[in-house]
Structure 1
Amino acid sequence: MDEIVSYLHRVPAWYLATIDVNDPTQPRVRPFSFAMADAGKLWFCTSRDKDVWFELEAHPKFELSGWKPGECWIVLSGTANLADDAQVSDAVREAGFKHMVGIGEHHSSANDGRLAFFSVKAGTARFCDIDGSERVVKLDDLA
């Protein structure tokens, strides 16, 4: 888990893909930049009023990809566990709040009801290299 979070922290933004609520044949991609490991889970943060939250509610499977020049790239697939939002720790909530405010979002506090957190279940990270090789890490094996 630490390797995955460390990689994502070294990339200014990676891209998370979901399925459009109104057109399930259309994927949607947007930049993300908050990831944190806590209690054996990988956590992400967004806002409840964003399309990504509605898309994950309708179709919780997602994939993200990012690349750090000079290194391999990462592809992480999984299912968003939105129900975990109710159990997110204060540490993740505070870090997510600070991050979101730091990138220009407007939230009143770490307990702002618009902040939304989800963990990853059934996740698989692939560290891929230009030579076609890849190393697979299953998140469930790390818990």
Structure 2
Amino acid sequence: MKEVIDFLNSNSMGSLATVENGKPRVRPWGFMLEQGGKLWFCTANTKNVFQQLQMNPAVEFTSSSQAYVTVRVSGEVKFSKDLEMKKRIIENSPMVKGIYKTPENPIFEIFCLEHGKAIVSDFSGQPPKTFEF
């Protein structure tokens, strides 16, 4: 899994897919950080994506490098109110800090993938690598 985490730390911007009314919805998204084997992300509870995740917590996040290596992680999100983790995310991302300002912001929500699957693939002809977490 270290390979996946290192990749996501270097290629944190990607796309997040959710489901809305039985149809896929994909949007640009950022990976925030890993802690204790959990992959952390954030959003605002005022966004449609927040409601989508509440109704169906199954997601997939994908990111690619300039060398055409791709990582896909999938699983079910778990929301958290952990202020220390919110603080870490804000400290880790100037963009998030610019949007939400403080961990106590009432619209700032964090969520993680605690268990799931990660796939690393490229165009080398080698089979993809699969990791369970």
User: Scaled by the length of structure 1, what TM-score is found?
Assistant: 0.79
8 Å Cα contact 1:8-1:14 kept in structure 2: no
Task: List structure 1 segments (4+ residues) > 6 angstroms apart after TM superposition.
Answer: none
Gapped regions of structure 2 (runs ≥ 5): none
Correspondence for 1:47: 44
8 Å Cα contact 2:78-2:114 kept in structure 1: yes
Correspondence for 2:6: 6
Gapped regions of structure 1 (runs ≥ 5): none
2:110 counterpart letter in structure 1 = F
**How far, CA to CA, are the matches of 2:55 and 2:99 in structure 1?**
25
Q: 1:68 aligns with which of 65, 89, 93?
A: 65
User: Scaled by the length of structure 2, what TM-score is found?
Assistant: 0.85
Give, in angstroms, the shift of residue 33 of structure 1: 1.4
**How far, CA to CA, are the matches of 1:37 and 1:12 in structure 2?**
11
Post-superposition Cα deviations, 1:87-117, rounded to whole Å, max 9, x if no partner, equal x351x31232245652685324111121111
Identity %: 23
Report the secondary structure of 2:4's partner residue: helix
Correspondence for 1:27: 24
Say whether 1:102 aligns with 2:99: no
Structure 2 counterparts to residues 64-143 of structure 1, below 5 A: 64-82=61-79, 85-86=80-81, 88=82, 90=84, 92-98=85-91, 102=95, 106-130=99-123, 131=125, 133-139=127-133
**More strand, by proportion:** 2
**How far, CA to CA, are the matches of 1:132 and 1:50 in structure 2?**
39
